């Protein structure tokens, strides 16, 4: 299927309307409404900073550690929201799928669209805090969107793959919730990767082969401080080709997920 056909006007309009509906319904009935898009990661940041930054002293001298932590939390929240909503999308839109014939990928992409909107709002806050911390804009900021696209592509691939399986086997969403909790501690969000390097440099290299860790560290490097340890800097000291494992994994998961989703989508109306 060609890209122009996939992104024709009808699909674009449907995608836009479903995304707007999802965003409105997400905060409907809450007192603070859309403010939760901003407050949720900020409150999580405050708790984690007090526990890990103030009491446990996880800061290893990384410049602007509070902003370093906030950026990691914002990106992690984006990834978890994308995958959580994407995996559940087909089940949540079951009534619509049974009544109307349309490309099913629109449902998954629209559900992740809310996460993109929330990320945009949160990144504005991150940039404001960066300026208040004395971080001056630089050309490296222009590289940040590429890391976000990579992270989104990974989340979308996972959403397609597990979302298709979740239509028939509803345990998948619960299993993913457990996995995402475990992965939170396997990605250098609340701790700097230099802490792992102090114990085992090999372990640090393995952690940075994770596409999530690689993307988050790249954003921190380009947006906050060049003292951030990245996959390209640490893993590149070994076998050069290892640098490209995270991006290769993203491409494989996205293609695999999209193809599997397309093959199974013809049965969604019967199984959902």
What local confidence, expressed as pLDDT, does residue 171 receive?
Answer: 86
Measured between alpha carbons, how far is 184 from 76 in angstroms, rounded to an integer? 8
Dump pLDDT digits (tens) for 94-149.
Answer: 777 777 777 888 889 988 888 888 898 888 888 888 888 888 889 999 999 999 99
Domain count, the chain: 1
Q: Is the pLDDT of residue 7 over 60?
A: no
In a domain, 2, yes or no: no
In a domain, 6, yes or no: no
What is the model's pTM? Answer: 0.86
Say if residues 214 and 244 touch (Cβ distance below 8 Å): no
Provide the Cα torsion 62, 219, 226, 235; round to 10°. 90
What local confidence, expressed as pLDDT, does residue 270 receive?
Answer: 74
DSSP-derived secondary structure for 36-99: HHHHHHHHHHHHHIIIIIIIS----S-TTHHHHHHHHHHHHHHHHHHHHHHHHHHHHTHHHHHH
Among the listed ranges 13-22, 153-162, 255-264, which one has the minimum average pLDDT value? Answer: 13-22
Cα–Cα separations (whole angstroms), residue 86 to 46, 90, 92, 240: 27, 8, 10, 34
User: Residue 23 is inside which H or E element, if any?
Assistant: helix 9-26
- Cα–Cα–Cα angle for 44, 46, 51, nearest 5°? 95
What local confidence, expressed as pLDDT, does residue 145 receive?
Answer: 94
Average pLDDT value for the chain: 82
What local confidence, expressed as pLDDT, does residue 56 receive?
Answer: 56
* Per-residue b or e along 157-170, where b marks 16 or more CB atoms closer than 10 Å to that residue's CB: bbbbbbbbbbbeee
- CA-based nearest residue to 187, from 200, 201, 204, 174: 204
Provide the Cα torsion 28, 79, 41, 69; round to 10°. -170
What tokens were used for 190? 């609340």
Q: Is the pLDDT of residue 61 over 60?
A: yes
Per the structure, the complete domain to which residue 118 belongs is given by 11-271
In a domain, 3, yes or no: no
What local confidence, expressed as pLDDT, does residue 4 receive?
Answer: 47
In a domain, 5, yes or no: no
Spatial CB neighbours of 186, under 8 Å, sequence gap ≥ 6: 207, 210, 213
In a domain, 44, yes or no: yes
What local confidence, expressed as pLDDT, does residue 55 receive?
Answer: 56
């Amino acid at each position: 299927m060609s890209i122009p056909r996939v992104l024709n006007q009808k699909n674009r309009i449907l995608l836009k309307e479903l995304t707007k509906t999802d965003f409105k319904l997400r905060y409907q009935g809450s007192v603070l409404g859309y403010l939760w898009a901003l407050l949720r990661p900020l409150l999580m940041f405050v708790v984690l900073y007090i526990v890990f930054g103030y009491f446990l002293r996880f800061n290893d001298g990384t410049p602007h550690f509070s902003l370093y932590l906030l950026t990691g939390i914002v990106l992690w929240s984006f990834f978890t929201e994308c995958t959580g909503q994407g995996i559940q999308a087909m089940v949540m839109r079951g009534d619509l799928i049974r009544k109307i014939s349309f490309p099913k990928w629109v449902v998954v992409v629209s559900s992740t669209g809310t996460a993109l909107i929330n990320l945009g709002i949160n990144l504005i806050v991150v940039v404001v805090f960066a300026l208040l911390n004395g971080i001056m804009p630089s050309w490296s900021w222009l590289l940040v969107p590429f890391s976000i696209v990579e992270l989104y592509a990974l989340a979308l691939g996972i959403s397609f793959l597990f979302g298709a399986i979740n239509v028939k086997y509803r345990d998948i969403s619960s299993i993913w919730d457990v996995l995402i909790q475990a992965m939170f501690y396997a990605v250098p969000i609340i701790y700097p990767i230099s802490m792992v390097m102090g114990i085992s440099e090999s372990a640090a290299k393995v952690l940075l082969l994770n596409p999530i860790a690689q993307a988050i560290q790249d954003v921190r490097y380009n947006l906050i401080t060049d003292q951030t340890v990245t996959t390209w800097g640490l893993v590149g000291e070994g076998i050069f080709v290892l640098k490209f494992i995270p991006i290769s994994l993203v491409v494989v998961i996205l293609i695999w997920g999209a193809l599997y989703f397309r093959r199974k989508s013809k049965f969604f109306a019967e199984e959902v």
